[in-house]
Amino acid sequence: MSTAPAHLLEELEPVVAQNLDRHLGLAQEWHPHDYVPWSEGRDFAAMGGEDWAPEQSRLSEVGKAAMITNLLTEDNLPSYHREIATRFGRDGAWGTWVGRWTAEENRHGIAMRDYLVVTRGVDPVELERARMDYMTSGYDSGDKTPLEAVTYVSFQELATRVSHRNTGKVTGDPVADKLLARISKDENLHMVFYRNIVEAALKIAPDATMRAIADEVIGFEMPGATMAGFRRNSMMIAKAGVYDLRLHHDEVIAPILKYWNVDGLTGLGPEGEKAREELATFMAGLDEQATRFVDRRAESRARTAARSESGETPDIAS
């Protein structure tokens, strides 16, 4: 199998510089402290106040699970910085982007944690224990090439944007909704940056890039997948429609593939064509899986509603 040219990063440097300038021109300055209701804060027991209790939270159960998952994912920023710095380098436009991206992502964790602690949205002790565990284990994307890495984050940034935006909607708190909407804007700009780099790579090394696209879509997994409780929380999040297979297909993968014109791309060799065929087969299967999931969810909701109307005790397994 042929691979991307060893000098691909250098060839992409002018495109990176252009998109860095574009990003800096569009990015709006904002400050985490402006999104936190500090007047609601009060001391915990260690300073003579009262420790956290479940009834103090104004978040829905789904909102709690989603915010914890999203925040812990943001917390592993040191691992993500290492991942992209070792692949993209620390010099030139690539290096400047790595630093800028890291600084912007750091804001997200700061703002979300301050909000949750001040409003007592979740148990701060359990949150800190989870942070310690997850950051200690870190994140390792394996042996991704720079091309695979930039392809992966194109999808991952958009997935994070969708998750944050929908989490804000289910929290039941306008303050959290406003905060997560602001964070989502950053994630969208990050997606555009990486998406544009892959677009340029398709012109320079079409076969290798198509291979990377197919592999990253087929093997896609959110960086938080290794955290404790991720499966349980992700199922709750999916059932609530915060992030599920339908959204993953329709609002994350498909729009980016369409932007890259994957279906209509010409000039591919045998390797690229094979990758495109594998991708098409996978996307058809993903679409079917998403449809089945949505149908089962609708049936489950209907059963729950019927039991509620009849006064029956809900089946928590559904």
Could you read off the pLDDT of 4-20 as tens digits, one per residue? 555 899 999 999 999 99
Residue 315 has pLDDT above 60, yes or no: no
Query: Would you place residue 104 in the very low, low, confident or very high pLDDT band (cuts 50, 70, 90)?
Result: very high
Q: How far apart are CA 61 and CA 73, in angstroms?
A: 18
Average pLDDT over residues 42-48: 97
Please report where in the chains the tokens 């599920």 appear, as a residue: 244
Query: Would you place residue 199 in the very low, low, confident or very high pLDDT band (cuts 50, 70, 90)?
Result: very high
Average pLDDT over residues 257-265: 97
Collect all residues with Cβ–Cβ distance below 8 Å to 34 and sequence separation of at least 6. none
The pTM for the full model equals: 0.91
Residue 316 has pLDDT above 80, yes or no: no
Q: What is the pLDDT of residue 317?
A: 40
312 vs 16, higher pLDDT: 16
77-88: b (≥16 Cβ within 10 Å) or e = bebbbebbbebb
Percentage, residues of the chain above pLDDT 90:
86
Q: What's the mean pLDDT when you consider all of the chain? A: 93
